[in-house]
Amino acid sequence: MSLTVHFITEDFELKSRCLQTAFFPESHTAENIAEGLREAALLNKWTRLQCFGHRLHLAVENAVKKDGRIDRAVGVCKKLVSHFSHSWKASDALAKAQKEINLPSHCLISECQTRWGSRQMMISRF
């Protein structure tokens, strides 16, 4: 099992470093992997840090829930994206309309609950 850290430099360059590689003969179940990670953290005396991206996503989700107008607007956007994604006629009409008014021919982007930032990408594309 290898543990890798990903980080961004002061120049906003994405970097990765392998922290540890260890023999892992056990079955790759969630329980065994979790135990392997716990052992690695204890062995190396690493401080547990939460994922910044995940924490940011949770903070944004909580802020959005407090304002029903945002939630309704996002819901309308999701319904429209879904409509164009599930109807070849609507998708074809969208492509023709984009061409007529000289817009780039882009598909709409769907929100994915497990991919933070996808809501913003969906709204921006819409």
| 14-70 pLDDT, tens digit each | 999 998 898 989 899 999 999 988 888 888 887 777 778 778 878 888 888 888 898
Q: What is the pLDDT of residue 58?
A: 84
Q: Which long-range contacts (CB under 8 A, 24 or more apart) does 30-38 make?
A: 33/1, 36/1, 37/3
Token pair 């709409």 in the structure block, residue: 108
Q: What is the pLDDT of residue 99?
A: 95
User: Greater confidence, 53 or 125?
Assistant: 125
Do 100 and 94 meet the contact criterion of CB atoms below 8 Å apart?
no
Do 19 and 5 meet the contact criterion of CB atoms below 8 Å apart?
yes
Q: What is the pLDDT of residue 67?
A: 86
Do 123 and 117 meet the contact criterion of CB atoms below 8 Å apart?
no
